[in-house]
Chains A and B, each alone.
Chain A
Amino acid sequence: MTSMGDKAKVKARVGDIVFSRLARFSGIGILVILAAVAFFLFLQGLPALLPGADFVGKADNPLSYVAPYIFGTVYSSIIALLIATPLAVGIALYISHFADRRFSQVIGYIIDLLAAIPSVVFGLWGILILAPFLNPTYVWLSENLNWIPLFEGQVSATGRTMLTAGIVLAIMVLPIMSALIREVFLQTPRLHEEAALALGATRWEMIKMAVLPFGRPGIISSMMLGLGRALGETMAVALVLSPASIVNFALLTSQNSNTIAANIALDFPEAGGDYRSLLIATGLMLFLITMIVNMIARYVISRRAAFSGAN
C-alpha cells in the first residue's frame, strides 16, 4: 500500500523512523511470543521426559500416560464435528438462501450470541441440565441397541458420558462453523445461482449445482477450525465428562477417555514436581496437535484466498 515514488528521496523524519520501527518490532514480537510459548513449555516439560523422573505413582512413563488422553481429545472432537457439521451447513444454508434477509440478520446475531457464552457456563449447563436430560435416552439406547458396539457397556447413571461431552463441544463449535460457512455461501456468484434457477432448477438443485461446489473449501476449512477449537476446549469437558485414564470407544459409560486439556485443568492445581512437568509436556503436545490442524485449515483457505471467510 506504500505507493510513494521510489525516486523521490524523502528526508527521513524521526517520527517516521520511530513509528515504523515500533510497528515492525510489534510484528516481530508476535513471533517471539509464539516461540516463547513453545520454548517455555518445552523447558518446563523436559524434566518429565528425562529418565528417572518421579511421577509419584500417577504415571509409569510419559507416553503410556498421555496416550489415552490423546485418544480422548481426538475422539470427543470427532464426535463433536460429526454432530456439528451437518447442522452448521444447514444453518448456513438457512441464513444464506432460505430465510428472508432481515430475519436472517437477526438470526445471525442470535447464533453469534452462542459464540460469546463463556465455556465454563457451557460446562455448568452441560453437567446440571443437559446430562440429566439426556440420561433417560442413554438408558433406553443401552437397553435396546446395545448390540451396537458404541452403545455397549454399563450405562452411566449421571449422563456424564463421552456422547454428552461431544454434544456440548458440538454446540460450542457450531457458531464459529456456521458463521464461516455462511460467509462463504453468501459469496457464491449470483450469476451461477440465477443461471441454475433460470434453467428450471429447484432451490435444492440450485444449491447442489452452484452453492455447494463453490463453498466446499469453506466447509472443509470450517471443519478444521471447529476441530481446532474442540481439541483445545477445556472447562466444558472438565466439568461434563466423568473421566478415566483408559481408551474406550463406548459412548454411554462413565469410564471415558479424558482429554488432554481437561486432564491438565483437573490435575494441575494439586500437581507438583515431575508430575507437573509431565502435565506441561502434555500441554505442549496439545499445542502441536492444534497447531497442525489449524495450519491445514489455513492452507485450505489460502488456496482459494478470494473468499477466505476467516477474515
Chain B
Amino acid sequence: MTTTAPIIDTSNTLPRRFSLFALGGSVAISLSVFILAGFTSEDGIPNFFGVGVLAFIFYMVISFIASRAVEGRRKAADRMVTGWVTAAFTLALVPLTSLIWTVFSNGLNRMDITFFTNSMRNVLGEGGGAYHAIIGTLELTGIATAIALPLGILTAIYLVEYGRGRLKNAVTFFIDVMTGIPSIVAGLFAFSLFLILFGPASAINGMAGAVSLAVLMTPVVTRATEEMLKIVPNELREASYALGVPKYLTILKVVIPTALAGIATGVIIAIARVIGETAPLLLAAGFTTSVNFNPLEEKMMTLPVFVYTSYAIQGTDAQSYVDRAWAGALTLMLIVMVLNLIARIISRIFSPKF
C-alpha cells in the first residue's frame, strides 16, 4: 500500500509564530515612522492611536505579501479577513476604554459628600451638588416603572396567553414600532399631553417626564416578558389545566413564577436604559437648581439633565461646572452598571433549569 500525501501540506505554511513577529515588526516600523516624521506631541510622545492604525496597515501588507508568496492566494485572503475581524474588535474596545477611563478619572474629582447632599440652589461657583437631581431621577424612574411594569407585563401576557388574530398581530407590530420611537419624540408627546391637561403655566413637571419615560420603557418590558413567557414549557400549563386550575390562576401561579427571573432581568435592564435618558426629561421635566419632591408641580431636575445643563450652561468658574458634569456622568454610569450587574446575577442564579 502506498502512502498518500498528507492532506495538510505543512511545507507550504508560514511558521506558527509568523503573525506575532509580523505584528511586532509592524508596530516597530510604525513607531519609528511617527517619531522620524515628527508626528508627536510637544513632549515627543507619538499619537498611539495613529501608531496603531499605521501598524495595522503595515501588518496587513506584510502578512499578505508573505502569505501570498508562501501559502497561496486563498490562505492570504484568509489572513486578511482574520486581521480585519480582529482589528474591528480591538477598535471597538478603544472608545469603550477611553470613555470609562475619562469618566472615572474626571468624575472622581467631585465624588464627595457635598455632591450627594447639596443641591445647586444659590451655587454660582465651586461646591454644590446633584442631590436635587438624584431625588428627581429616583422619583421619575420609580413612577415610570410603576406605569410601565403592569402595562408591559399584561401586554406580554395578552400576546402569549390570550392574543390571536388581527389584534395580536397589530399589537406585536406596534410594540416593535414603539421600541423605535426616538426618545425626544416621547418627550414632545408628554409635553404636548400635559400642556393640554395642566395648561401652559405648569405643563413642565416631574409627572410629564415620568410619562415620557414610561412610553420608552413599556415596549422594552413587553418584549423581555414576552420572550420569557414563550419559553415556559407548554406541559406546565397543560398539567395545571388538567388539575382543573382556571386559566388566570395558571398564569399567575405557574407561568409567571417560572418566568419570574427572566422578567425581573428584563425589567431591570429596561430601568437601566431609561434612567440615562436625557432628551425627553429636558423637554418634559425641565431643569431647576432646587430640590423638588412633588412630581405634580414645578420643574424637576434629573441626573442626565444635570450632566447636560452643567456642561451646556456654564456659569462663572466654568471648570467647577465641568467637574460637576463629569461627577454626574460617573454617578449615572455607576447606577447603570450596578443595575446591569444585578440583572446578570438574577438571571444567572434564578434562571429556570429545565
Q: Say if A and B assemble together.
A: yes
Chain A residues with CB under 8 A of B238: 3
Encoded as 1 (CB less than 8 Å from any B CB) or 0, chain A from 102 to 124 comes to: 00000101111110111111111
Q: Give the tally of cross-chain contacts (CB within 8 A).
A: 287
Q: Please give the distance in Å from A172's CB to the nearest CB on chain B.
A: 10
Binds B, one of A13-21, A150-158, A186-194: A13-21
A202–B174 touching, CB < 8 Å: no
Asked if A116 and B155 sit within 8 Å, CB to CB, the answer is no
Are the CB atoms of B103 and A94 closer together than 8 Å? no
A118 and B333 contact, CB distance less than 8 A: yes
Partner of B283, one of A133, A264, A311: A264
B81, A207: Cβ atoms closer than 8 Å: yes
Contacts of B154 in A (CB 8 A): 22-23, 25-27
Q: By the criterion of a CB under 8 Å from any partner CB, how many residues of chain B are at the interface?
A: 103
Q: Which of A13, A30, A234 gathers the greatest number of chain B CB atoms within 10 Å? A: A30
Q: A269 to B282, Cβ gap below 8 A?
A: yes
Interface residues of A in 16-56 (CB under 8 A from B): 16, 18-20, 22-31, 33-34, 36-37, 40-41, 43-44
Is B162 within 8 A of A20, CB to CB? yes
Name the residue on B nearest A264 (C-beta): B184
Determine if A214 is an interface residue (Cβ-Cβ < 8 Å). Answer: no
| B174/A98 in contact, CB under 8 A | no
Report which of B50, B96, B287 forms a contact with A113, defined as CB distance below 8 A: B96
Bound complex: CA A136 to CA B80 (Å): 29
Interface check B175, CB cutoff 8 A: yes
Chain A neighbourhood of B241, CB < 8 A? 4
Whether B181 pairs with A87 at a CB distance below 8 angstroms is no
User: Size class of A's contact patch?
Assistant: 35 or more
For A101, list chain B residues within 8 Å (CB). Answer: none
B189 touches A15 (CB 8 A): no
Nearest CB in chain A: distance from B203 CB, A: 10
Query: Does B263 interact with chain A (Cβ within 8 Å)?
Result: no
**Is B136 interfacial (CB 8 A cutoff)?**
no
| Contacting pair A120 B278 (CB below 8 A) | yes
Q: Looking at the complex, which of B124-132, B247-255, B289-297 is the stretch in contact with chain A?
A: B247-255
Output the residue of A120, A171, A204 with the most chain B CB within 10 A.
A120
> A residues within 8 Å of B by Cβ?
1-4, 13, 15-16, 18-20, 22-31, 33-34, 36-37, 40-41, 43-44, 86-91, 93-95, 98-99, 107, 109-114, 116-125, 127-130, 133, 136-137, 171, 174, 178, 202-205, 207, 225, 228-229, 231-235, 238-239, 261, 264-265, 268-269, 279-280, 283-284, 286-287, 290-291, 293-295, 298, 310-311
Q: List 22 A-B contacts (CB under 8 A).
A: A19-B252, A23-B155, A23-B158, A26-B158, A27-B154, A27-B163, A28-B167, A30-B174, A37-B181, A41-B185, A93-B81, A121-B103, A124-B307, A124-B326, A202-B75, A202-B77, A204-B81, A235-B279, A235-B304, A238-B308, A286-B182, A293-B180
